[in-house]
Amino acid sequence: MPTSLLIATNNPGKRIEIQAILADLPLTLVLPAEAGLNLEVEETGGSYQENAVLKALAFSRASGLPSLADDSGLEVEALGGEPGVRSARYAPIPNATDADRRAYLLERLRSHPIPDGMPGWPARFRCVVALALPTGEIYLTEGTCPGYIITQERGQHGFGYDPIFYLPEYDQTMAELPPEVKNRISHRARALQAARPLLQRLLGSPSGDPPSSHLEHT
């Protein structure tokens, strides 16, 4: 089994996080540009799982390498789970920025009172990671991170909705957390940590088979 792993994303923020979280594994992490790929995969799936698999398979087939992709989103209770799988495409304007999406989310929440005694609107980040092998096998893991949406942006780290996603146990937004802390507790970190036993097994580590409770093999 080759030890090269293609990180199947063109999102620089995701790429940095994934590299940091997997840095201690004996892997050669390959970026799409390094593999000569300029691939954009349309996220047409109706779930995080479907979108992650679409991306992982497309990059694996194009490169011939094991490929790791994720799909993630923000789920806000007051909005029935929106923006969900449309988190990156939520704002109804062309070429929307992260700031546009945050502003649109807060506009949507304006008519929903913050629940009594809570620091904001209950929400969670959710991430599904897909690992596609050149043989066509696909492995899936998932991670979530609960928190609250607040009205004032805080912090300079991270990307996406991080500046308005508040974690009461740290009294900080995701964008205020030092990267090393975020890379321990974020939804993406938890999904990738769940994938570590699989990656170790594929690398021939003596850790044994990954726990079935953490992995779905399709």
Residue positions in the annotated binding site?
Answer: 9-14, 42, 71-72, 159-162, 182, 187-188
* Angle at which helices 187-202 and 12-21 cross, to 10°: 50
Residue positions in the annotated binding site for Mg(2+)?
Answer: 42, 71
Can you tell me the distance from the alpha carbon of 189 to that of 18, in angstroms, rounded to the nearest whole number?
A: 8
Active-site residue flag, 171 = no
| DSSP state string for 164-185 | GEEETTTTEETTTS-HHHHHHH
The catalytic residue among 71, 98, 116, 171 is: 71
Taking Cα atoms as reference points, which of 90, 95, 59, 96 lies closest to residue 73?
90
Residue type, 33: A
Residue positions in the annotated binding site for substrate?
Answer: 9-14, 72, 159-162, 182, 187-188
Helix (H) or strand (E) holding 54, with range, is: helix 48-63
Residues assigned a catalytic role: 71
